[in-house]
Amino acid sequence: MRKTPPELPTILIFATGGTIGMHDVGGGLEPDPAFLEILEERADRVASRFGFRARVNQLQPAIDSANADEETAPKIARALRARVGAMRASGVVVTHGTDTLAYTASRLAFELAGLGVPVVVTGSQFAHGARPTDAFDNLQLAIRAVTQANPSAPVAVAFGGKILPAVRVTKSDAEALTAFRAERELGAAPRGLPGSPEDAPLVRADHARVTAIRFTPGLAAADLLALSSTGAAAMVLECYGAGNAPMSKPGMKDALRAISDRMPVVAITQCALGSVDTDRYAVGRQLAAAGVIAGADLTVEASIAKLGYLLDRGFTTEEIAHLMPMNLIGECVEPARRTAAARAGSAGD
């Protein structure tokens, strides 16, 4: 008697929109209704080479990722949790627009840290039907990465020939096929999330809206106050260098104190490398004295993701101040560890 062949393990391909799934019928790029079928056929063909099968599902509605809001990444995470359970999927590839891919990927890294199957996010600079296109090279890279990753691997981004850690990734090129960079490595020896998502269910019905503002020479205290009065739940300050801000500007100290009394305000650096050290300069110390939380070497995307994740689970500003500089899932290098590593480096010189 012939035995039926064992079922191949399934990879869930979750399409959320973006250029990868678009076509241009004369009015600019827009979602292509035929994309899902094409994606399923191509993904299944690639997956079968690695001994898997692919099943495609879609975010409703698929979006240009420039239209993502504070609900988007948590909604994708919920959909993935439900589908991975129902399909018993062994891994997930998320196709996403490149514009906000780094924000979504960072948030998914927090939301899905305990999922137990690898999750890889990809997209493309050119539509799947364009010639040439990077859509299928990136899809193939992502599928291969999922089949080779271990089940507890951190969420990753596969793009332009590179596999990058989601919590460190930034879109760095609006045109090149290598659109993403992760200047900083994944933080070593992460502590883990404070209570898994199951232990700490979503407390807020609406998702926390986290805003970010970049210090520039023209920025005034009134700009910060205006931004803080829009109903946002937290603010990220993209500071100069090591966490410096124009503290002698009229009203700046008072504005930052008043905003920090109402919501978590987190300082990160505008620089692509290095970390915030609010102790180094007097202006940095004044920032800390105003109640601003130092965000170590977090990227802007990861700091927004981390704040959103913690606020949605009901952590208080005080708890967030404690957790922000901690390496929970590889998103940062803790200041004390950075100092220890620097000392060890100079001792060997």
Ligand X SMILES: NC(=O)C[C@H](N)C(=O)O
Task: Write out the residues near ligand X by the rule CB under 6 A.
Answer: 17-19, 64-66, 97-99, 123, 125
Q: Which of 10, 16, 19, 104 is catalytic?
A: 19
CA-based angle 315:321:327, to the nearest 5? Answer: 90
Q: Which of 10, 16, 95, 98 is catalytic?
A: 98
Helix (H, G, I), strand (E, B) or coil at 257: helix
Q: Is 115 within 8 Å of 152 (Cβ atoms)?
A: no
Longest dimension (CA), the chain: 86
Q: Residue 64 or 223: which CB sits closer to ligand X? A: 64
Helix (H, G, I), strand (E, B) or coil at 39: helix
Instruction: For residues 92 and 325, give the distance between their C-alpha atoms in angstroms, rounded to a whole number.
Output: 29
Q: Residue 36 or 153: which CB sits closer to ligand X? A: 36
Q: Residue 99 or 297: which CB sits closer to ligand X? A: 99
- Tell me the β-bridge partners of 92: 12, 119
Residue showing the smallest CB distance to ligand X in the complex: 97
Helix (H, G, I), strand (E, B) or coil at 91: strand
CB of 133 to ligand X, least distance (A): 11
Q: Residue 149 or 300: which CB sits closer to ligand X? A: 300
CA atoms within a 13 Å half-sphere pointing along the CA-CB vector of 275: 24
CB of 17 to ligand X, least distance (A): 6
In 90-220, alpha helices (H): 101-111, 135-148
CB of 280 to ligand X, least distance (A): 37
299 included as an active-site residue:
no
Whether residue 132 is preceded by a cis peptide bond, meaning omega within 30 degrees of 0, is yes
CB of 66 to ligand X, least distance (A): 5
98 included as an active-site residue:
yes
Specify the pairing of strand 180-181 against strand 170-171: antiparallel
Q: Residue 19 or 147: which CB sits closer to ligand X? A: 19
CB of 207 to ligand X, least distance (A): 20
Q: Residue 121 or 276: which CB sits closer to ligand X? A: 121
Helix (H, G, I), strand (E, B) or coil at 301: helix
316 CB neighbour count, 10 Å cutoff: 11
Q: Is 150 within 8 Å of 119 (Cβ atoms)?
A: no
Cα separations in angstroms, 121 against 77, 103, 209: 12, 11, 23
CB of 125 to ligand X, least distance (A): 5
Closest listed residue to residue 62, CA positions, set 46, 50, 75: 75
Catalytic site residues? 19, 98
